Every structure is written in C-alpha cells, then in structure tokens.
C-alpha cells in the first residue's frame, strides 16, 4: 500500500500556505463594511478572529516588538505598528481607517493592574492603558468599539472601567458588556473575560455562545489528544512549538507522583511536599503542580502556563507540562499559527507571554460576527 507522505513546514516553508490564506482572507474582507484597528494587538488573536468574521483589519498596534512576526505572518492585509500608544495621539490612529467604511476601534489593554494575580497594584506601569483607550475613543469617535479584559476590571478596576464606560455614554454609544465564559464560544479553556461592545449605529448586544451546556464544551482530549507524545525535553520535528519543557529530577518525581487525569499534590509522599505548601497560606493552592483533566476544558492559560509550578499545567497522561503549541490550541489559535520565525532560535518565554496574553480567536470571531449582523440589521 502506498501512503503519501505529507512534508513538514520546515520542508515546504510557509509561503505557499500563507499565499492561499491571503487569497481567502482577501475575498472575505474585500467587501467588508467595517474597517478596524486593533490596539494592544499582541500576537493577533483578536485581529485573527475579526478577520475570520469578515472584518477588514487595517493595523495592529503594540509596544512589544516581539509580537510582530506572529501578527503579520498570520493576518495578511493587516500591518503591525510597533508603537507606544501612551505617546500617540488620536490623529495618528484615525488616519489608519479606510475611508467610506464604518470604523471599529478594538483592543485589549494589558490587564495586569486588574488581575487577581497582581491584586490590583495601582502603581503598575499598565494602570493607565485603558484610560488611553478611552482617550482614543473620544478623539476618534469610531462607529463601533469592542474591548476585552479580565473580569476583575469591573471590581478591582471599577473606577477605571466606569470612566471608560462614561466616556462612551457621553458620546451617545449604545453599550453592552458582561463577563463571559470562553468555553461557551468554542474555546477549550475555562477562561472568564469581561467583554464590551459599543455602537453609534444602533442597539448592540454581546452574543450568546453556541455551546451553552458544559457537555458541549471542547475538552483537553479533543484539543491535543492527537498530538505527538513527548517525554520531557523531547520535541516534535514537524512543530517547533511542540516541545516538552525540561523538569528538574525532583519536579519530575513530583509530577510522576501526581495521579493522571486531574490529580493534585495531595497524593504526594511527604518528602516531595514543598515547604511553602506546608504553611497555612499554601494549603489551598492545590492546582499548582496539578494535572489537567482529559475530558474537561483546560484551565486559564497564563503567560507562565508551560510551568507546572505555576498552576494546573501538567499533561493529563504524560509526565510533563504542556507545550507552547498545546497552550496555543487551548487559546483556540489554529494549529498552524506561527509565533516565531523558523530560522531564529525560539524564545520560549516571549512566545509564552504572547499566547497567555492573547484574546482567544474564537471569542473574537463570535464578537466580529455579531458586529457584522448588527450592521446588516441596522
């Protein structure tokens, strides 16, 4: 029996695939009624979803130059601008929109100041970035606005969030916002996010997810179960992101002592328990060094999601933490999404940050489709 061998990306490169993607995207967005600019774009998760929904994204802007390759390699037609938005005025962004189209200003301001991981540190460098977003809305007055952030923004960052909403209200936007579960939008991850849509075209609402029941949610097994099995330190020759992170001999013993499929450190022998976990303050953090469940969505991906000491990031069956590719898939990025140039040494820390900070493309696509429906209905 003859079996056709499929060449790897290293052998064929990405140019042919990219050109085909560009043709499909061009056909999809050429007649789009919407021209969008993505603020704080990162690796392009929000842009990618909007493009898939049929929205023409003109540019993505981010202060992190390491995001440029991922953004441009996967989002043809959208250019990356390496800008510090705190040093830009509304005019520089306003001229990026295409004439004769409805303008959408989109973005996810960095959420560290509001996240429970930083306990709302008010002197954090990123504290004012949502304020800058609001100033751009005020200076540009786009037809549409979408904003995504951590749920804690409505609590720890309530003062900042209410000022942002107040800016929209003064400009006569119809506004809808709520905290959504990304699993309901096809993202294989337990990730809650605050999502806002605003329109000067008419009444707009946050769309309901298509997967309202937990039994419909995409699981870890469905998402990464068919990937190449790896031992620590091993890599997939066809995918430079599917590399099992190294573990110290002690941490390997800890993971091997953690039961498969959702196990935690509660099962460890006493000699493997960390001193910090013996303290009362460490008793409740059982997800750390834990394994994911095969038949549930993954936990929330963070910028440190490939380290077992940072959360429930152990593979359900294999004695290793998850890989960068698996993390990207849990964020709902397509399997062939490129994050780093093949000819450059992989910066694992940079890619992990890009993945953890991203807007899940499937959530973005749902928002983009709602925006298109909203415009057509109006």
pLDDT for the residue 274: 82
pLDDT for the residue 157: 84
pLDDT for the residue 299: 97
pLDDT by residue (tens digit) across 313-323?
Answer: 999 999 999 99
Mean pLDDT of 27-41: 89
Catalytic residues: 111
Picking from 42, 46, 40, 81, the residue whose alpha carbon sits closest to that of residue 371 is 46
- Pick 240 or 279 by higher pLDDT: 240
Report yes or no on whether pTM surpasses 0.85: yes
> Which position has the token pair 């013996």?
278
At 21, the pLDDT band (50, 70, 90 cuts) reads: low
Helix, coil or strand: residue 106: strand
d(CA 172, CA 141) in angstroms, rounded, equals: 10
Q: What is the 3-state secondary structure (H, E, C) of 299-315?
A: CCCCCCCCCHHHCCCEC
Q: What is the Rg, in whole angstroms, of the alpha carbon atoms belonging to the chain? A: 21
Least confident of 150-164, 221-235, 243-257: 150-164
> Which position has the token pair 């990405």?
14
At 10, the pLDDT band (50, 70, 90 cuts) reads: very low
Mean pLDDT of 249-259: 95
Task: Look at residue 39 and tell me whether its pLDDT is greater than 50.
Answer: yes
Mean pLDDT of 75-87: 96
d(CA 339, CA 224) in angstroms, rounded, equals: 18
- Retrieve residue 96's tokens: 């990026």
Picking from 123, 129, 124, the residue whose alpha carbon sits closest to that of residue 147 is 129
Task: Look at residue 14 and tell me whether its pLDDT is greater than 70.
Answer: no
At 88, the pLDDT band (50, 70, 90 cuts) reads: very high
Least confident of 134-138, 154-158, 273-277: 273-277
pLDDT for the residue 3: 35
- Retrieve residue 181's tokens: 């579960």
Helical H segments across the chain, by residue range: 9-12, 15-29, 45-52, 68-74, 90-94, 129-140, 158-170, 220-224, 249-256, 275-278, 324-330, 348-357, 361-377
Picking from 39, 126, 123, 124, the residue whose alpha carbon sits closest to that of residue 85 is 39
Question: For a pLDDT cut of 90, what percent of the chain falls above it?
Answer: 77
Mean pLDDT of 219-239: 97
Q: How far is CA 215 from CA 113, 285, 300, 363, in A?
A: 34, 27, 18, 19
pLDDT for the residue 7: 45
Domains identified in the chain and CATH numbers: 20-214+360-377 (3.40.50.150), 220-357 (3.90.120.10)
Helical H segments across 206-248, by residue range: 220-224
At 270, the pLDDT band (50, 70, 90 cuts) reads: confident
Task: Look at residue 29 and tell me whether its pLDDT is greater than 80.
Answer: no
pLDDT for the residue 273: 87
Task: Look at residue 118 and tell me whether its pLDDT is greater than 70.
Answer: no
Mean pLDDT of 171-191: 98
Sign for the CA dihedral angle at 298, 302, 308, 310 comes to negative
d(CA 122, CA 90) in angstroms, rounded, equals: 25
Mean pLDDT of 120-137: 72
Average pLDDT, the chain: 89
């Amino acid at each position: 029996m003859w079996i056709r061998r499929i060449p790897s990306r290293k052998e064929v490169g990405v140019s042919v695939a990219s050109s085909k993607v560009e043709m499909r995207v061009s056909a999809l967005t050429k007649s789009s009624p919407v021209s969008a600019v993505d603020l704080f774009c990162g690796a392009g998760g929000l842009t990618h979803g909007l493009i898939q929904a049929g929205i023409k994204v003109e540019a993505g802007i981010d202060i992190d130059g390491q995001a440029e390759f991922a953004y441009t390699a996967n989002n043809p037609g959208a250019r990356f601008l390496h800008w510090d938005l705190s040093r830009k005025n509304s005019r520089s962004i306003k001229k990026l929109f295409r004439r004769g189209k409805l303008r959408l200003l989109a973005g996810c301001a960095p959420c560290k100041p509001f996240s429970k991981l930083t306990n709302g540190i008010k002197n954090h460098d990123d504290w004012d970035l949502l304020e800058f977003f609001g100033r751009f809305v005020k200076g540009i007055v786009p037809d549409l606005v979408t904003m995504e952030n951590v749920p804690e923004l409505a609590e720890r960052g309530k003062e900042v969030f209410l000022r942002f909403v107040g800016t929209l209200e003064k400009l006569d936007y119809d506004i809808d916002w709520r905290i959504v579960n990304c699993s309901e939008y096809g993202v294989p991850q337990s990730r809650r996010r605050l999502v806002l849509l605003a329109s000067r075209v008419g009444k707009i609402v946050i769309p309901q997810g298509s997967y309202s029941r937990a039994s419909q949610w995409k699981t870890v097994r469905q998402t990464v179960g068919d990937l190449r099995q790896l031992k620590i330190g091993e890599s997939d020759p066809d995918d430079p992101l599917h590399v099992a992170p190294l573990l110290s001999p002690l941490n390997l013993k800890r993971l091997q002592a953690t039961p498969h499929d959702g196990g935690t450190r509660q099962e460890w022998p006493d000699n493997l328990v960390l001193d910090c976990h013996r303290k009362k303050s460490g008793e409740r953090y059982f997800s750390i060094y834990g394994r994911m469940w095969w038949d549930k969505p993954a936990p929330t991906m963070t910028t440190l999601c490939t380290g077992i000491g940072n959360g429930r990031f152990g593979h359900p069956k294999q004695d290793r933490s998850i890989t960068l590719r698996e993390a990207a898939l849990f964020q709902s990025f397509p399997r062939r999404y490129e994050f780093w140039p093949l000819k450059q040494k992989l910066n694992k820390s940079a890619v992990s940050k890009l993945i953890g900070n991203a807007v899940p493309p499937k959530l973005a696509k749902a928002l983009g489709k709602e925006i298109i429906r909203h415009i057509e209905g109006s």
